[in-house]
Every structure is written in C-alpha cells, then in structure tokens.
Amino acid sequence: MDKIKEILIGTNNEGKYKEICDLLPKRVIKYSLKEFNILSPEETGKSFEKNSFIKASYFSKKTNLICLSDDSGLEIDLLNGEPGIYSSRWSGKKNNFDLAIKKIFKKMKKINKDWFYYNKARFICCLTLFWPNGKSYSSKGIVKGEISNSKRGQNGFGYDPIFIPNGYDQTFGEMESKLKMSIDHRFKAYLKIKNFFI
C-alpha cells in the first residue's frame, strides 16, 4: 500500500484543523480548505459516519486531493444523545459555544434539577479518508466521560470546558492539549487509520 504523502484537511473548524494536523506525521504535507477557499457542504446525513463521508468526498472532488474529514460531537445520556450530530449547529451561525453550553445546562436542569447525578456523556469522532479515485475508509473513536456542573478551563474548543473524561478530574478545557489529544475521540479514531500514513 502506498503511504499518503500529502493530504487536504477537510474542516473549516480551526480547533479540529489544529488537532488533526498535530496527530498526523510531520512529514505529511497538509493543505487547508482556506488555501482553496472552499465552504463546507450541507451536512444532510443522520450519522457522524455519513456526514464525515459527505465532507471528505465533497472536498476531495473539489480539489483532486486525498481528503481527511472529521465529523464529531457530544452525546449526553440525559438528553437522549443530544446535541450529537447537531453539536456544531447548537452554537448558532456565530459559533457561540457559550450559548450552546448554556443551552445544555438549561435542558439538563429542565429534565432533572439533580441532573449532576445523571451527567454521563461521550464525545464521538468519525474520520473519513476519501481518495480522488473514489476509494474511501472511515473509522470511529469514542471517549466516555461526564458533564461538569460549570465551565472550566480556557484550552481547546467547542464543548471542551464542560467535558470531564473518565479517570480524570480536569475538563478537556483545563487539560494540556497534549494530554487531551492522547486520550480523546479524535485520537482513538486516528489510531485506526494511521497505517495509511506511517
């Protein structure tokens, strides 16, 4: 199998872009969507798998490059898996995660005022590689944890300040990014595709 030497990182999310670049080997040449001025397609799928495939195939076809796309999100048990595939959309057009996090606290409290005892959640990431010849490969990673009762930490992005992974006391927002990236959903999904690169 020919190893991938250059790749388009198929995301317009800065936080994801940085984490994916850091996961990939240094010698792989990385292109961003900014270089091609491409907007993201509509995520019409009903699963992380489908949406990451939609993005990877769309960007690869636009650029004729091998593309790696990520679709990810936070699933909260008490909210029946919400926000899930709508994790990004809960932050609105302005990507305001303060707003999205407030919405989570409000919804959890409405369902159960003692929601803190029922705070199980997980981050899910689906990565899809799509080649210009139509070949594709997808992988999934999950990290289980809990929702903290307040926002904590300035690191990371999105819902990081309210997610405490199992086995730790810190939220992802409080963790050194190196630690987060060695245990999170994106890393676990990456482990399953890393042989395409190394």
Contact in structure between 73 and 52 (CB atoms under 8 Å) = no
Paired residues of 125 in beta bridges: 72, 141
58-97 positions binding ligand IMP, by CB under 6 A: 71-74, 87-88
Among 58, 115, 159, 187, binds ligand IMP (CB under 6 A): 159
Q: Tell me whether residue 71 is one of the annotated catalytic residues.
A: yes
Among 75, 184, 187, 190, binds ligand IMP (CB under 6 A): 184
Rounded-to-integer distance, Cα 42 and Cα 49, Å: 14
Q: Which residue out of 2, 22, 70, 71 is catalytically annotated? A: 71
Q: Which one, 96 or 112, has the nearer CB to ligand IMP?
A: 96
Q: Which one, 117 or 141, has the nearer CB to ligand IMP?
A: 141
125-154 positions binding ligand IMP, by CB under 6 A: none
Rounded-to-integer distance, Cα 156 and Cα 154, Å: 7
Residues that bind ligand IMP (CB under 6 A): 13, 43, 71-74, 87-88, 123, 156-160, 172, 184
| Residues recognised as catalytic | 71
